[in-house]
Every structure is written in structure tokens, then in C-alpha cells.
Amino acid sequence: MIRDIPVKGERYKDILGEVFEIIAIARHTENYEELVVYSPVEEPSKVVASPLPIFMKQALEKVKEQDTKEEISDDLAGVSPMLLEFLDAETYEEKLAVFDRMKNSITDDIIDSIAVSLDTEVEKAPIEERYRQIREILLMQEKYETTRLR
């Protein structure tokens, strides 16, 4: 089976399921062999070059953009929709409104995630106390959040 030469931006999956993004097709300076320059999607700072024939043997399949979106959706499958709504809220007023709606279903993990998003720490305590601490932080942020032009 003849396969197309990879193109910059395309993604391929290897036998282990790791996804790689093509950065470029290069040519070796001494023997003019074609090299595929790519990086793992999970570790974009790592750049690897491999001879084209070897890369094509190791690349199990080309990953479609839709597959990548499905992987992201699968990764978010276990995340609370309310937490996602909180993280997507643009103002502290909106965050506070979402946070108040969470009161009866909030967990320690959600509080920890919210604390990280607010760049703060909430000490281990009963859930009601942790909820109160986050709420106070949100109220303070809302109070000093400026929406007027200066």
C-alpha cells in the first residue's frame, strides 16, 4: 500500500496510540535522505526527526481532525459541566453565580480545581468551610473587578 508523504500540520498515530504532529519534511545535508520532523502532541517542546521510510512504517494511521476533537471530548467526559461553566465564565460576577448554583453538588475536587483557577489555595477543612472561603474570594474579586474605562 502506497501512502502519501506527510504534510506540515498533519497528525499521525503510532502503534502505542501516541499522536504526533508533522512540523516539516527535511532533507539530510550529506545523503539527501528525506526526514520527517515531528513532535508529540502531548509534549510539543520535544522535536524528533526520522527518515521518511522509517516514520511511515511506525505511523499506524493518519489522525483526522475529527478524531482529535473526539479525544478532547473523551478527556472532558468525567469533568463536571458546572465546573466547565465556572471556568468559562468571563467575569467574577458570572463565576459567583455559577459557584452559588454548585453549592449542593460541590466536591473537594471541584473546590481544588476552582482554587487553582483563581490562583489561590484553600486549606483542607469541612466542605462547607472550603465553599465559604472560595465564595469570599469570589466576592472580593467581584468587588474590585473593574468594568469601567479609565
Q: Are 86 and 103 in contact (CB under 8 A)?
A: no
| Residues 85 and 140 grouped into a single domain | yes
| Residues 139 and 119 grouped into a single domain | yes
Written as one letter, the residue type at 55 is F
Task: Judge whether 140 lies within some domain.
Answer: yes
Task: Judge whether 111 lies within some domain.
Answer: yes
- Higher-pLDDT residue of 106 and 75 is 106
3-state secondary structure of 95: helix
Task: Judge whether 20 lies within some domain.
Answer: yes
Smallest Cα–Cα separation from 86: which of 112, 114, 109?
A: 114
Can you give the pLDDT at residue 69? 46
Written as one letter, the residue type at 149 is L
- What residues form DSSP beta bridges with 38? 22, 48
| Residues 15 and 62 grouped into a single domain | yes
| Residues 109 and 69 grouped into a single domain | no
As a residue count, the chain comes to 150
pTM over 0.85: no
Task: Judge whether 6 lies within some domain.
Answer: no
- What residues form DSSP beta bridges with 39? 21
Query: Where is the domain boundary, 42, 73, 104?
Result: 73
Quick one: pLDDT band at residue 68, thresholds 50, 70, 90? very low
Can you give the pLDDT at residue 144? 84
| Residues 97 and 129 grouped into a single domain | yes
Q: Which helix (H) or strand (E) holds 11?
A: strand 11-14
Domain carrying residue 137: 81-144
| Residues 32 and 69 grouped into a single domain | yes
| Residues 94 and 61 grouped into a single domain | no
pLDDT in tens, 4-36: 788 888 888 877 778 888 899 999 999 999 999
Task: Judge whether 16 lies within some domain.
Answer: yes
- Phi/psi at 144 (5° precision): -100, 0
Number of domains in the chain: 2
Q: Which residue has the cell 460541590?
A: 106
Burial 81-101 (b: 16+ CB within 10 A, else e): eebebbeeeeebeebbebbee
| Residues 21 and 65 grouped into a single domain | yes
